[in-house]
C-alpha cells in the first residue's frame, strides 16, 4: 500500500500515512486536532474503513490506520502527537510518528468511544458489561488505574472531557430515550443536563473549548438538529437545524463546529457550521 509522509506539527513531527479513502464512504464523528490544523474522523463502507484526517478546508485527506471498518472513534492527545481509537472491541493509542498501535487495556469486554482529557492524564471510554449494558470508565493514558465512573441500568455512550479535565459529559438512555449527563470527577456525582424522552432525545455531547457551552444532537418535533446548553442546564438553544445532524465537535478557537450528517444522496459526510454567521459548509465529498 502506498504511503505519504507530511509534517503534522510546527515542531517538525514527520507523519507517514496511507492513501486516502475511496469516494462514497460514510464519514462520521469528526474530532479537531488541538492546533486546529486537522480534523480526524472515521469511515465505514461495505466492510472497509478506518481512521483518517483532513484539513479544515477539505484538502489533504490522509489515512491513519490500516483498512479496517472496526477502527473508529478517534480522539487526539492534547499535544497532537498521538491518537486513541477503538478497534474490534479494544481501545488503542498510537504515536503518529511511529504508527504502532498500543492496546490501552486488555479485557474480555468490548470497549469503544475513547476521549483523551485535555491535561493528557486520562482516557475515558465506554465498556460493554456482562449484562449487555455499557458504562463509562476512565484510565490513565498509559492504561493504568482503570476506574468505572457510572453504574446505571441504562446504556452510556460518547463521553467527552471538560476543558479543565475535571468533568465528563456523556449520553445515556434506552429505547431511543436518551439524555445528556455530567460526571464530576472531584465529587463522583452524576447529574442530568438535558431532559430526555422520545421527542427530545439528546446525544453525542461535546464541551466548548472555554467550558461555557455543551453542544449536542437533539431530536425535537420531528427534526434532528444541533443544540447547545450551559453546563448548569440553562440557555438551551438551537445551533443548526440541519436534518439528522449529529456528533458536533468544537474547533479549538470555539468558532466553527464540525459534525456529520447525510448529504443529498443519503451518505453521511462531514460538515462545518459557523457560529459567526450560521452558515454550513460541506467538508468532505
Per-residue pLDDT of 207-250, as tens digits, reads 999 999 999 999 877 778 899 999 999 999 988 777 789 999 99
Sheet architecture: strand order including 155-161: 155-161, 167-174, 177-184, 189-192
Q: List the single range of 62-71, 138-147, 245-254 with lowest mean pLDDT.
A: 62-71
Q: List the single range of 17-21, 136-140, 228-232, 279-283 with lowest mean pLDDT.
A: 17-21
Compute the distance between CA of residue 181 and CA of residue 245 in angstroms, rounded to an integer.
Answer: 20
What pTM was computed for the model? 0.87
| pLDDT exceeds cutoff 60 at 8 | no
Q: List the single range of 7-16, 33-42, 190-199 with lowest mean pLDDT.
A: 7-16
Domains observed in the chain: 3-282 (2.120.10.30)
Place of cell 463509562: 136
The b/e string for 238-256 (b: 16+ C-beta within 10 A; e otherwise) is ebbebeebbbbbbbeeeeb
Mean pLDDT of the chain: 87
Pairing of strands 167-174, 177-184: antiparallel
The 10 Å Cβ neighbour count of residue 135 is: 20
Amino acid at each position: 500500500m502506498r504511503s505519504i509522509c507530511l509534517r503534522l506539527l510546527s515542531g517538525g513531527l514527520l507523519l507517514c500515512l496511507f492513501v486516502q479513502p475511496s469516494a462514497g464512504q460514510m464519514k462520521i464523528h469528526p474530532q479537531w486536532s488541538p492546533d486546529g490544523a486537522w480534523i480526524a474522523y472515521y469511515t465505514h463502507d461495505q466492510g472497509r474503513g478506518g481512521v483518517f484526517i483532513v484539513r479544515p478546508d477539505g484538502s489533504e485527506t490522509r489515512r491513519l490506520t490500516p483498512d479496517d471498518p472496526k477502527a473508529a472513534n478517534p480522539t487526539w492527545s492534547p499535544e497532537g502527537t498521538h491518537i486513541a481509537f477503538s478497534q474490534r472491541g479494544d481501545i488503542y493509542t498510537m504515536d503518529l510518528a511511529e504508527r504502532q498501535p498500543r492496546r490501552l487495556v486488555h479485557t474480555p469486554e468490548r470497549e469503544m468511544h475513547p476521549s483523551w482529557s485535555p491535561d493528557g492524564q486520562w482516557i475515558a471510554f465506554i465498556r460493554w458489561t456482562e449484562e449487555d449494558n455499557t458504562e463509562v470508565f476512565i484510565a490513565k493514558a498509559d492504561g493504568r488505574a482503570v476506574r468505572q465512573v457510572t453504574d446505571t441500568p441504562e446504556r452510556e455512550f460518547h463521553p467527552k472531557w471538560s476543558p479543565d479535565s475535571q468533568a465528563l459529559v456523556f449520553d445515556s438512555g434506552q429505547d431511543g430515550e436518551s439524555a445528556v449527563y455530567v460526571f464530576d470527577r472531584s465529587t463522583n456525582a452524576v447529574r442530568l443536563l438535558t431532559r430526555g424522552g422520545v421527542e427530545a432525545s439528546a446525544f453525542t455531547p461535546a464541551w466548548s473549548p472555554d467550558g461555557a457551552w455543551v453542544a449536542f444532537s437533539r431530536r425535537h418535533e420531528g427534526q434532528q438538529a444541533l443544540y447547545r446548553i450551559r453546563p448548569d442546564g440553562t440557555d438551551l438553544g438551537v445551533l443548526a437545524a440541519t436534518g439528522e445532524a449529529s456528533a458536533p465537535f468544537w474547533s479549538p478557537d470555539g468558532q466553527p463546529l464540525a459534525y456529520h450528517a447525510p448529504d443529498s444522496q443519503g451518505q453521511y459526510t462531514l460538515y462545518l457550521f459557523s457560529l459567526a454567521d450560521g452558515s454550513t459548509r460541506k467538508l468532505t465529498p
